[in-house]
Amino acid sequence: MTSTLNNDVADTARRLAERPERIWAAFEHAASEGRAAFIPFMTAGYPTPERFPAVALQLLEHADLLEVGLPYSDPLGDGPTIQRASEEAIEHGTSTRATLQAVKALRARTDKPIVVMTYINPVYATGPKEFMRLCVDAGVDGLILPDLPPDEDLGIRFLAAEAGLALTFLIAPTSTPERVRVVTSACTGFVYAVSVTGVTGARDGGALSEVPALIALARAHTDLPVAVGFGVKDAATARIVAVDAGADGVVVGSAFINALKAGDDLGALAAKIVSGCRK
């Protein structure tokens, strides 16, 4: 009985889900240029709420999609760099609503897709229906939900589909073929493949050895784009993911936060990483 109900809800969610036109178009545009889509990540409100818009716009100059992280006090999937960025953003007053207001301001200045990465607790704390409404009002294209098993709360998937928000869930090198099937079937934007076992952060290229098999496994179950994150820090590691492994997209986060701290040129770093995405 429960299985039938779950299947009915999932089928309804799929029927209601609008094709994430802007997200898919971004991947298609990148592919037409012979490269993987470049997806930079930046924590909302970092380094300060006042500076965040300029930082985000600088990344958007090179990005195909922008991933905005909603600051959260217990970011289980993030390494120390993004954890500290979240802590600082929260200390500066960046909340869920402030994050979405910042995205709304960005939306007024760009047509590129913006996806919000959020842990599930802020969604529940806001109220899932209200959270989806705020996202739609802000012009968010989709959500990345790293700590929500997609078969654990079909209501979230239903509400997102009803709102026309694309959903992205995560697979990892430890995911079984059956788990990959379940996760990819729940994605409506793109599939996020975690390149390594562990948390976010820069690593050397050798740590990315399991990526090709993970991408192949995902593609056996879905025709959605597969983007790879965790461990990509520069043009060389982007090339491993995009060229050697054949990913459709490359997600880079900690490297930009470290560059901000060091006072380095974000635009120059972004341009170099984009060069590594060319196939």
Query: For 109-134, what is each residue's pLDDT tens digit?
Result: 999 999 999 999 999 999 999 999 99
Confidence of residue 21 (pLDDT cuts 50, 70, 90): confident
The whole-number average pLDDT for the span 39-61 is 97
Return d(Cα 166, Cα 108) in angstroms, integer.
Answer: 20
Stated pTM of the model: 0.89
User: What is the domain range of residue 226?
Assistant: 2-276
In sequence order, the β-bridge partners of residue 196 are none
Model pLDDT, residue 76: 78
CATH of residue 207: 3.20.20.70
Q: Is 223 a catalytic residue?
A: no
Domain total of the chain: 1
Contacts of 125 (CB under 8 A, 6+ apart): 96
Model pLDDT, residue 18: 46
Q: Is 78 a catalytic residue?
A: yes
- Nearest Cα neighbor of 69 from 98, 32, 41, 109 is 41
Neighbours of 129 (CB within 10 A): 12
Question: Which residue of the set 78, 178, 244, 265 is catalytic?
Answer: 78
Question: Which residue of the set 11, 33, 64, 67 is catalytic?
Answer: 67
Number of alpha helices (DSSP H) and beta strands (DSSP E) in the chain: 13, 9
- Which helix (H) or strand (E) segment is 59 a member of? helix 52-60
- Nearest Cα neighbor of 61 from 106, 25, 98, 117 is 106
Identify whether the C-beta of residue 100 lies closer than 8 Å to the C-beta of residue 72: no
Return d(Cα 38, Cα 241) in angstroms, integer.
Answer: 11
